[in-house]
Chain A
Amino acid sequence: GAGVSQSPRYKVAKRGQDVALRCDPISGHVSLFWYQQALGQGPEFLTYFQNEAQLDKSGLPSDRFFAERPEGSVSTLKIQRTQQEDSAVYLCASSARPGRRNYGYTFGSGTRLTVV
Chain B
Amino acid sequence: AQSVSQHNHHVILSEAASLELGCNYSYGGTVNLFWYVQYPGQHLQLLLKYFSGDPLVKGIKGFEAEFIKSKFSFNLRKPSVQWSDTAEYFCAVRRGGNKLTFGTGTQLKVEL
Contact = CB atoms under 8 A, between A and B. Distances in A.
A110 B43 contact: yes
A31 B6 CA distance: 27
A50 B46 CA distance: 21
Given A48-B98, A56-B99, A102-B51, A41 B42 contact: no
Interface residues of B, number: 21
Contacts of A40: 104-105
Contacts of B36: 107
Contact of A107 (B44, B51, B99, B104): B44
Given A101-B51, A108-B43, A41 B98 contact: no
Nearest to B36: A107
A59 B49 CA distance: 24
B43 A45 contact: no
Among all A-B residue pairs, the 6 with the closest Cβ atoms? A42-B102, A107-B44, A109-B43, A45-B99, A107-B43, A43-B102
Interface of B: 4, 6, 36, 42-46, 49, 51, 90, 92, 97-105
